[in-house]
Structure formats: C-alpha cells, structure tokens
Amino acid sequence: MVPSFLLKNRSSVYFILLFLIILILLLLISLSQFVFHIVDLSKGINYVSLFLSLTNSIIAFGIIIICSSTFIILKNWIINNKRIRELETITVNAELQQLKNQINPHFLFNILNNVNIMIKHNPIMAAEMLTKFNDLLSYQIDGSTKEFVSLDDEIRFLTDYLELEKSRRNRFNYAILKEGVLHTIKIPPMLFIPFIENAVKHSSGNKNMSYVDISFKINNSQLLFFCVNSKPQSPPIKTEGGLGLANIRRRLELLYKNDFALKIHETNTIYSITLNLKI
C-alpha cells in the first residue's frame, strides 16, 4: 500500500485501509483466542488480559508496519535522490556545453573575418594566419572533448590568437607574463578566450598604439588572471547581444561555484579584468 497510496499523495486512503486491516487482524486474533480456547468463556472474560493481549498485538503490528513502510520509503527516497543527482549532472553538463558552443562560433567568426581581410592585402601573411588558425582550430576541437586542459596549452592558444590579431593591426602590442609553476595546473578549456576577445575588441579603433597585457600568477592554491587593455579616445557605440562575458560568468558559476572572484574595472583609458580561481 505504501507505493500504491502513500507515495502517490493518497495518504488518507492509505491510513483508512491501514486502520481497517489492523481492525480486522485484531478481530481475527480475538476470535482465534475463543476458537482455540485460549480464553475460557466458562470462567468469564478477563478484560484486563484481553486488553493487554490486544495492546501487545497493536504494538507488534505497529512495529511491523513502521519498519516495512520506513524501508520502502527510504528505498524510494534513495532512488529518487539518485535520479535527481543524475538529472542535475546532465543539466549542468548540457548547459556548460551550450555555453562552450556559444563561445566557439563567435570566436571562429572573428578569426575568419581577419583572414578574409588579410587575403586581399597580403596573401603570404594570410597563409601564415591560416596556419595559425589551423592550430587554433585543432586546439579548439580537441579541447571541446576534454573536461580539463593544461594551463600552458591554454596560454599557447591565447598567444596564437593575439599573434593573429597583431598581424592584421599595425598599432597593436600585447604581452603575456607568467609567474609560478604553470605546467601542472589544469583548467577547463577555452576559459580565458572571452576575456581576450573582449580586450582585443575594445582596444581597437585607437589612433594611438593600443595594447592588451595579460598575466598569470600562481600563489599557493590560487590562480590570479589579470587582463588590461587600452581604450580608444572615441570608444565605439555598444551594441546589444554581446554574450561573451555573460557566458563566461555563468560558466564560472557552474564550474567553480563560490571558489572564484571576478572584478571588472574601467576608466576613460583602460579596461581591466581580474579573475581569482581556487585550483
């Protein structure tokens, strides 16, 4: 009756049937005592003895019912909890994959657009850009199938990206500083590229020299990522629909929960991002 009524939110039916079953069992026990002469009617009914007998029976039934019901409810609770955890895992993985897929097309479009522009002006340099693009695409395809990648590999990926950007812009420089032991650190793939894309995009359009400076620092169990870029004197008008930074913030929440801190600082001349990860 537990799976048929109690677990299906029909508790009133469950308790009514339970009461009727106990009542019937008590009547059968009482009748059996008379039939098998456990109680001698010729000597009269000992109500105290009968009451104690029925009380013992009720206690015994109660223990049996509580134990069996508790076992079934606990078993059902364990199965449901396992199902809920599996659904949560599937949901989180699906959302992470969706966020990755939202990053990838935007990133690919930027690179292909750069190559397309360069082909018209410098075919040799465009060929070199395509070679670097091939390396980027290989890393991206390979990284999309992995849960974690080496931080060194991720930095090489960012370096290739910035090299491609530098090859198409005359007044652009970048620097990547590294401090600490990086080769042992594992991170989710494509974690930093939205920040770099955002820095590159907002540093362009400047008549003066523009730059993007990046640093990675390992301190105890913390990874400190810092990215700062110059801003043009006349910044471009912001357009709606930018998903990069919103996606990366959501991805950080899913991956690191409370083990990260993201700070954004902006002035008239610079835009900086500081990300602290617990590794």
Same domain, 65 and 139: no
* Structural domain includes residue 95: no
Which residue would you say has higher pLDDT here, 105 or 65?
A: 65
Same domain, 177 and 108: yes
Same domain, 258 and 197: yes
Which residue would you say has higher pLDDT here, 245 or 16?
A: 16
- With bands split at pLDDT 50, 70 and 90, how would you rate the model's confidence at 124? confident
Same domain, 12 and 40: yes
Same domain, 140 and 114: yes
The pLDDT score that the predictor gives to residue 224 is 96
Domain assignment of residue 78, given as a range:
6-82
Count of domains forming the chain = 2
CA dihedral sign, ordered 231, 236, 242, 246: positive
Closest by CA position to 161, among listed 82, 227, 205: 227
- With bands split at pLDDT 50, 70 and 90, how would you rate the model's confidence at 242? very low
Residue finishing a domain among 47, 82, 117: 82
Give the Å distances, CA to CA, from 262 to 130, 146, 168, 195, 238. 34, 24, 30, 11, 22
pLDDT surpassing 70 at residue 23: yes
Q: 77-101 pLDDT, tens per residue? A: 888 788 777 767 766 765 666 556 5
Same domain, 12 and 140: no
Across the range 101-118, mean pLDDT stands at 68
The pLDDT score that the predictor gives to residue 183 is 84
Mean pLDDT, rounded, of the chain: 79
Q: 155-214 pLDDT, tens per residue? A: 998 998 888 888 777 788 999 999 988 888 999 888 898 898 888 888 876 577 889 999
The pLDDT score that the predictor gives to residue 43 is 58
